[in-house]
A and B are shown apart, each in its own frame.
Chain A
Amino acid sequence: MLIRSAPDLKYSDVTSKKDFLDRRRFLASAAAGVALGGPAAQAAKLEARKSGYTVAETVTPLKAITGYNNYYEFGTNKDDPARNAGEFRTEPWQVSVEGHCAKPAKYDLDSLRKLAPLEERIYRLRCVEAWSMVVPWIGFSLSEVLKRSEPTSKAKYVAFETYYDSKQMPLAKGSRIPLPYKEGLRLDEAMHPLTLLTFGLYGEVLPNQNGAPVRMIIPWKYGFKSIKSIVKISFVEKEPPFTWGIMIPNEYGFYSNVNPEVDHPRWSQGSERRIGEFSKRKTLMFNGYADQVASLYAGMDLKKHY
């Protein structure tokens, strides 16, 4: 059983002592940041109830989760976003839900966050670059938002868009990826309970480098599908274009489900390096979420629809 109900799992159970101490130290420096009015001043607590959608695996240290990021708008090196996203303004923030639906809506962050009770879910995260982490995210199922807008029969897919501002993201150009960043899901994927609209991690609001103030987490897909800093969610009829597919069509598929059988031209996908571990581990089909999501793809040739 890969996912189990673990209502009273604490970080101290799933995090090694040293990592836990690292975290304490981080919190202490965050507190110092508050005193100095630095970027860390934003780190605010986020209350969330425990969720059954949680894996009982060692959580990756906070330092790695917030220091090793792909967020090309803030630079293409893994440590760039932590360095460069600190000043990014996430207030005010508006998310527009539009397209083929009966009730389009615009939410400010607060009203969006209050649509449903926040849950903490510990998910595996598998990057297409063959590394992985385990992250305690905070959010609720995206379906809570989508169903309120009452998608019509024409709504077959959901398209997402990231905020883009070349003034606030002066390093974005060097990445050469077309911006704003776009992603998409099939409607049934978007409505799946595992698909998490995410506001926080490790008990706090999302740090900027992790896609503040609100992002997607789709745990059975490669990380680049989990779009950050969302401003637009639209119901569309056709499979929407997505950034990496526009950039390098023969390497990135729309589905991009984690699949050890289908190699990427640059990385073998059969195994992965869990951040913090020395040996590699085998990559699991659908990142270990096959029981929950395999039925979405019944009858599909996943080698073709990679």
Chain B
Amino acid sequence: MPSPLRSRWLKAAVFAASLVPVAWLGVDAWRDNLGANPIEFITRALGDWTMRFLLLTLAITPARRLLKLPDLIRYRRMLGLFAFFYGVLHLITWVWLDKFFDLNEMWADVMKRRFITVGMLSFLLMVPLAVTSTTGWIRRMGGKNWQLLHRLIYPSVAFGVIHYLWLVKSDIRMPVLYGAIFAGLMALRLVKR
């Protein structure tokens, strides 16, 4: 029997599920259910989902081995692209709803506010990965080079964690939790096969 992971239906279901957070935000926004500061709520929710999808993407490789489910690879590109998708939305809320497209202010923020600086770094590192995510690019670059390039996800997540750590005022539990999950996923890569 072919693995259910190969089913196109399951893939479609994962795709749909990945859109639930943004749909949810939309519904809550429409019902005026995002609290006293909806813009902050949206920015933060999208930042959270960027991080969660990045970690899910990173979890695929160790999960394939540990769960003996090599077919999980079929989901990695999609999850990575969803991380980028949420990252773009997160960035848009900042550019639009926080800075109102004021380039000077944005530049000043990137230069002055270290949590923005590393957030931007984290995002910029995701861009080449999204661009080269197609099969065409893998062929053009060659598997080795492509894999090498895509290791940029590691610093991207690391900068994302630092971004979160630097933006909280004193309660570091959530960024530390994300950091611990990241460290765990990295450690699993080092474990001998």
Contact = CB atoms under 8 A, between A and B. Distances in A.
Interface in A152-188: 174-177
Contacts of A247: 170
Given A265-B113, A268-B108, A280-B100, A64 B170 contact: no
B100 A279 contact: yes
Interface in B87-109: 98, 100, 105, 108-109
Contacts of B108: 268
A174 B36 contact: no
Contacts of A273: 37, 39-40
Nearest to B116: A266
Nearest to B114: A265
B12 to A, nearest CB: 35
A10 B89 CA distance: 42
15 contacts: A68-B35, A76-B169, A78-B36, A79-B35, A131-B37, A175-B171, A176-B170, A176-B171, A247-B170, A263-B112, A265-B112, A268-B105, A273-B37, A273-B40, A278-B39
Given A64-B36, A76-B171, 14 more contacts: A63-B36, A67-B35, A68-B35, A72-B170, A76-B170, A78-B35, A78-B37, A79-B35, A248-B169, A265-B112, A266-B113, A268-B108, A275-B36, A279-B100
Top 4 closest pairs, chain A to chain B, by CB = A68-B36, A64-B36, A76-B171, A176-B170
Interface in A51-99: 63-64, 67-68, 72, 76, 78-79
Contacts of B115: 266
B35 to A, nearest CB: 6
Nearest to B112: A263
A63 to B, nearest CB: 7
B37 A174 contact: no
B141 interface: no
Nearest to A61: B36
A177 B170 contact: yes
Contacts of B98: 280
Contacts of B114: 265
Interface string A115-150: 000000000000000010000000000000000000
Nearest to B109: A268
B170 A175 contact: yes
A174 to B, nearest CB: 6
B192 to A, nearest CB: 37
Nearest to A247: B170
B23 interface: no
A240 to B, nearest CB: 20
Contact of A174 (B105, B109, B113, B171): B171
B183 interface: no
B144 interface: no
Nearest to A70: B169
Interface string A263-290: 1011010000101101110000000000
A131 B103 CA distance: 21
Contacts of A276: 36
Nearest to B41: A78
B173 interface: yes
B72 interface: no
